């Protein structure tokens, strides 16, 4: 970093790539000397675009350059500064700290005073600075003492403080295209002064293709591989044997294995896991296998991928194929037993199974609605009849009174209410018509009809008690309401004739007469005589919570972070979900 001597600041210039250009790497030697030599980023540098206008006008502004490695961030900062005739200071956030920032600020003041020139500070890897270090730039960028150009490979929304982003323009640099990389190769092979032109190399077409493919849009990676390939083909770095031939085999030896652009904690990680999740959801085993392979090749922890697919088995497959969850646990145990690479096949098998399984998010959506009610309505009271009653005092207070033990009934089912009074009749779970889940809809609907009849009977008894009627009078009044059975063949016509009010019928009554006890629905009047009141309420039901997102825009409910860090994307178990003590009805 340039520091000014006591007698006054010398003129700052763009730093030389290396004291001896011949010893610098090829990627450094071929840095563009003007905008005309710059390759790529036409969306920023084309005619009429922002950076083109800044460059041509000789001005520079505070910028955050966000893009993958090897896309020209540093070269762009140097070109803009040189053309603006500004003092240029460059350092890396990996090696610098607050002390270095203070020195730059002092130097900038001296440059402004003595030379009447602005100072551009280029900070490479600016995301490596913590919040306090980034805060140190704010007053000086705000005052215009420093023009800050930061380069980052990470999403600024996550890594740069909002106050700094608001004072700079964020520009997105894209990976270089095939045509861009092809042009860079041509330049390197033709330039005798800075490139490899003096070696007289011949690059075979398949070798060129391999170089471009393995670079991943990274010009630095491309040039490093090309330089090493040239050394292997010509015999040495000094090129003692001119006229070498660069073949695909030579490039393969030079490249060895592509270091994929994959940061397990950065944005690319979330892009890839999102692609895997959506491929599974859309029943595409080919896409799922590819994105799974991409993450494994990039060094992702297989256990993390297994956890995500196990979560998927509950979220997106659910009761349509409950065996998917079992297979997910089996795949996890298989991988733990075998390890890589043998255990990797269990991940592939699970991915294909999940992609081909019938899909349902009914459990996921139902849980979201129930959680929403639990949060919105607070700690509603547990109905007395389903409370635990381990002590005499609790029993005297009515705890457990009227509770029906399911295993003492013929079908091991009861029609008693299990929701708090304010939520009676609420329905969270709606089975999908797919897979195994389609067989759950009919029995669930029958149970809900029976419970509705019990609630109606309890409500009638409560209303009759308020009017001084006995249970028999209340039952008679209820039975005379002549609410048709929803299963009656003429129910649709009757419903239409009534004006389509949408009122729910009370099962167990038809044509004004109580149904036979042989029907699988209890008569509401019978409920008055034989079933306990369960706290049926005349209170209006709370509004149904809004639906969870179904537009594919996210993988998690709106009140959960979007798969960003993965510890937060799983529903946590609440303490006390499984209390100890005697079971209700068994004490």
- 393-404 pLDDT tens trace: 999 899 999 999
| Residue 71 confidence (pLDDT) above 90 | yes
| Residue 495 confidence (pLDDT) above 60 | no
- Residue-wise pLDDT for 191-213, tens only, equals 998 999 988 889 999 889 889 88
| Residue 543 confidence (pLDDT) above 80 | no
Mean pLDDT, residues 490-499: 43
Per-residue confidence (pLDDT) for residue 215, from 0 to 100? 86
Question: pTM of the entire structure?
Answer: 0.55
| Residue 538 confidence (pLDDT) above 80 | no
Report which of 67, 42, 39 is spatially closest to residue 181, judged by C-alpha positions.
Answer: 39
Per-residue confidence (pLDDT) for residue 288, from 0 to 100? 96
Would you call the peptide bond into 307 cis, given omega within 30 degrees of 0 as the criterion? Answer: no
Report which of 352, 320, 340 is spatially closest to residue 436, judged by C-alpha positions.
Answer: 320
Please provide the average confidence, as pLDDT, over all residues in the chain. 78
Rounded Cα distance between 571 and 552, Å, is 19
Per-residue confidence (pLDDT) for residue 531, from 0 to 100? 41
Pairing of strands 119-124, 87-92: parallel
- Residue-wise pLDDT for 40-60, tens only, equals 999 999 999 999 999 989 888
- DSSP-assigned letter for residue 379: S
How many C-alpha atoms does 386 have within 13 Å on its Cβ side? Answer: 14
Query: What share of the chain in percent tops pLDDT 90?
Result: 46
Domain ranges (residues) in the chain: 21-172, 178-255, 267-359, 383-487+504-530
| Residue 17 confidence (pLDDT) above 60 | no
Looking at CATH, the fold of the domain delimited by 178-255 is given as Helicase, Ruva Protein; domain 3 (1.10.8)
Encoded tokens for 570:
């799983």
CATH of domain 267-359: 1.20.272.10
How far is C-alpha 554 from the geometric centre of its chain's CA atoms? 6
Q: Is-contact 415 454, C-beta < 8 A?
A: yes
Per-residue confidence (pLDDT) for residue 297, from 0 to 100? 83
Within 8 A by CB and 6+ apart from 490, the residues are 484
Report which of 420, 480, 413, 410 is spatially closest to residue 448, judged by C-alpha positions.
Answer: 413
Per-residue confidence (pLDDT) for residue 505, from 0 to 100? 41
- DSSP-assigned letter for residue 539: S
Mean pLDDT, residues 132-152: 91
Q: Which option is the CATH number for 21-172: 3.40.50.150, 3.40.640.10, 3.30.230.10, 3.40.50.300?
A: 3.40.50.300
Per-residue confidence (pLDDT) for residue 229, from 0 to 100? 92
| Residue 542 confidence (pLDDT) above 70 | no
Report which of 126, 66, 68, 41 is spatially closest to residue 261, judged by C-alpha positions.
Answer: 68
| Residue 164 confidence (pLDDT) above 50 | yes
Per-residue confidence (pLDDT) for residue 341, from 0 to 100? 87
Higher pLDDT, 239 or 227: 227
């Amino acid at each position: 970093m340039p520091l000014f001597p006591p007698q006054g600041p010398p003129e700052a210039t763009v730093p030389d790539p290396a004291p001896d250009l011949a010893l610098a790497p090829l990627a450094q030697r071929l840095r563009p000397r003007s905008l005309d030599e710059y390759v790529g980023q036409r969306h920023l540098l084309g005619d009429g675009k922002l950076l083109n206008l800044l460059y041509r006008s000789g001005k520079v502004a505070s910028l955050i350059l966000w893009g993958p490695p090897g896309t020209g961030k540093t070269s762009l900062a140097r070109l803009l500064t040189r053309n603006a005739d500004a003092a240029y200071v460059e350092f890396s956030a990996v090696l610098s700290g607050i002390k270095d920032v203070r020195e730059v600020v002092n130097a900038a003041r001296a440059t402004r005073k003595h030379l009447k020139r602005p100072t551009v500070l280029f900070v490479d890897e600016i995301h490596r600075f913590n919040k306090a270090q980034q805060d140190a730039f704010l007053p000086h960028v705000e005052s215009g003492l420093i023009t800050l150009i930061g380069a980052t490979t990470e999403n600024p929304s996550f890594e740069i403080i909002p106050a700094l982003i608001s004072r700079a323009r964020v520009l997105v640099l894209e990976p270089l295209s095939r045509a861009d990389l092809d042009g860079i190769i041509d330049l390197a092979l033709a330039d005798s002064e800075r490139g490899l032109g003096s070696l007289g190399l011949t690059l075979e077409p398949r070798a060129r293709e391999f170089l471009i493919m393995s670079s991943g849009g990274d010009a630095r990676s491309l040039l490093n591989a090309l330089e090493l390939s040239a050394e292997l083909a010509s015999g040495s770095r000094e090129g003692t044997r001119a006229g070498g031939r660069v073949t695909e085999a030579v490039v393969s030896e030079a490249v060895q294995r592509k270091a994929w652009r994959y940061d397990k904690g950065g944005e690319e990680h979330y892009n890839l896991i999102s692609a895997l999740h959506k491929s599974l959801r859309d029943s595409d085993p080919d896409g799922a296998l590819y994105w799974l392979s991409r993450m494994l090749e990039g060094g992702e922890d297989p256990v993390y991928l297994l956890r995500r697919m196990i979560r998927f088995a509950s979220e997106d497959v659910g009761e349509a194929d409950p065996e998917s969850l079992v297979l997910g646990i089996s795949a996890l145990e298989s991988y733990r037993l075998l390890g890589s690479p043998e255990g990797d096949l269990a991940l592939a098998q699970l991915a294909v199974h999940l992609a081909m399984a019938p899909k349902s998010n009914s459990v996921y959506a139902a849980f979201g609605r129930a959680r929403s009610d639990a949060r919105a309505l607070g700690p509603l009271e547990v109905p007395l009849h389903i409370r635990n009653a381990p002590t005499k005092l609790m029993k005297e207070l009515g705890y457990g009174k009227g509770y029906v033990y399911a295993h003492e009934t013929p079908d091991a089912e009861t029609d008693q209410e299990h929701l708090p009074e304010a939520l009676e009749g609420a329905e969270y779970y709606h089975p999908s018509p797919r897979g195994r889940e389609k067989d759950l809809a009919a029995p669930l609907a029958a149970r809900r009809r029976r419970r509705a009849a019990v609630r109606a009977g309890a409500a009638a008894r409560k209303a009759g008690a308020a009017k001084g009627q006995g249970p028999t009078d209340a039952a008679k009044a209820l039975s005379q309401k002549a609410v048709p059975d929803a299963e009656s063949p003429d129910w649709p016509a009757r419903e239409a004739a009534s004006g389509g009010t949408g009122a729910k019928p009370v099962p167990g009554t038809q044509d004004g007469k109580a149904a036979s006890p042989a029907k699988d629905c209890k008569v509401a009047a019978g409920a008055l005589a034989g079933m306990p009141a369960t706290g049926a309420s005349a209170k209006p039901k709370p509004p149904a919570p809004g639906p969870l997102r179904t537009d594919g825009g996210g993988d998690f409910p709106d009140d959960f972070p979007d798969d960003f860090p993965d510890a937060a994307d799983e529903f946590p178990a609440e303490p006390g979900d499984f209390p100890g003590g005697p079971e209700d009805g068994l004490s």
